[in-house]
Amino acid sequence: MNVGTSTNIISQLKGRDFLTLVDFSTEEIDYLIDLASYLKEQCEKGIVYEPLKGKTLGMIFEKPSTRTRVSFEAGMYQLGGMGIFLSTKDIQMERGESIADTAKVLSGYLDGIMIRTFSQERVEELAEHATIPVINGLTDLYHPCQLLADLQTIKEVKGKLAGLKLAYIGDGNNMANSLMIAAAKMGIDISIAAPKGYLPNQDAIEKANAFACDSDILITEDPIKAVKEADIIYTDVWASMGQEKEQAIRQKVFANFQVNQELVNYAKEDFIFMHCLPAHREEEVTAEIMDGKHSVVFQESENRLHAQKALMTALMGEL
C-alpha cells in the first residue's frame, strides 16, 4: 500500500474526531483497515515509520483497560510520538472541572485526545469543545476502535468483508451496537442473538438499518438461528464493567447463550471465533472454543495495536 495515494480520503480524515463508525464512509473505513495492514507489515519487517514524531496524545481513562491503554501508548511510541496516561483521579475532572474546560485546556497542550469512559455524551461533549481530534476509546454505547481491529482481522483471515455472515451471541451491549454499524457499512450480514430485555440499543439498530443496503440485519432470541451458516461467531462478556452487581442474574439469563461446540456446529465448517476480550472462560464461551483451531482472538487482540496506529496516523499524522 502506498499510504499517500488516497489523497482525498487522507484530507477527509485528517483532524477528524472518531466517536462512532456512523460518521465514517465505507471508503474511509476501508482505507483505515488497509493502512493498519500496511503499518503491521512495516512493524513485522522492523521498518521505522514515524508520522507522529513530536506529537502527543492525551489518554483519559474513567474505565480501566489492558488492550486500549497498551495499544494506544505503544502505538504512539512506535509512530514517533508520546502518549500520556490521564486517570480522572489524577486530573481536575475528578474535582469538578467541566468537560468543556478540560477540552479547551488539553487542546492547548496536545495533538489528540483518547477517552475511555461510560457515557457517549461525555465523549461527544469533549469533542464539541476540543480543537484537536478526539477518539472514543470505549463508551457504554459504542466501541469503534475495537471494530477497526475486528474488520482488519476478518479481512486478513477471510480475504474479504462484503458477503460474509457474522453471528453475535450474548449481551446487546456496545459491541453488539458497534458490530451492527460496521456490518451495515461493510456489506456483512449480521445476526444478533440476545435474551429478551438485553437486545441492542434501538437507536443503533435504526442507524444500522439505515446503512444496510448490501447486508441483512437479524435480531433474534434464538442463538441457533443466528449462528446457522455463519462465517464469524462473536461474543462478549455477559456483564460488562459497571454491571458487576448483575453478574449472578445475568449468568442465569444468558445460560443458553454460551458459545460452545454444540452451538458452533451450526456455523460453516471454516468459521472463525472472535471475542473483544477479556473473556470469562466457561461463561460466554468454553475454553474448547476459545483455544480451538477456529479462534482468532489473539490475532484480533494484536490488531488493536495496528488499527490504533492507523487511526492516529490518519487523524493526527503527516502522510
Annotated binding site for L-ornithine: 174, 236, 240-241
Phi-psi region of 216 (alpha: psi -120 to 50; beta: other; left: phi over 0): beta
Quick check: is 129 catalytic?
no
Distances (CA, A) of 239 to 174, 268, 291: 12, 28, 21
The active-site residue, picked from 17, 78, 140, 146, is: 146
Quick check: is 281 catalytic?
no
Quick check: is 116 catalytic?
yes
The active-site residue, picked from 16, 140, 236, 258, is: 236
Quick check: is 43 catalytic?
no
Report the binding-site residues. 65-68, 92, 116, 143-146, 174, 236, 240-241, 276-277, 304
The active-site residue, picked from 16, 30, 143, 150, is: 143
The active-site residue, picked from 16, 17, 116, 150, is: 116
The active-site residue, picked from 16, 250, 275, 304, is: 304
Report the binding-site residues for carbamoyl phosphate. 65-68, 92, 116, 143-146, 276-277, 304
- Please name every residue paired with 116 in a beta bridge, in sequence order, or none if there are none: 61, 138
The active-site residue, picked from 17, 276, 306, 308, is: 276
CA proximity to 180, closest of 153, 152, 150, 138:
150
| Residues annotated as catalytic (active site), given as ranges | 116, 143, 146, 236, 276, 304
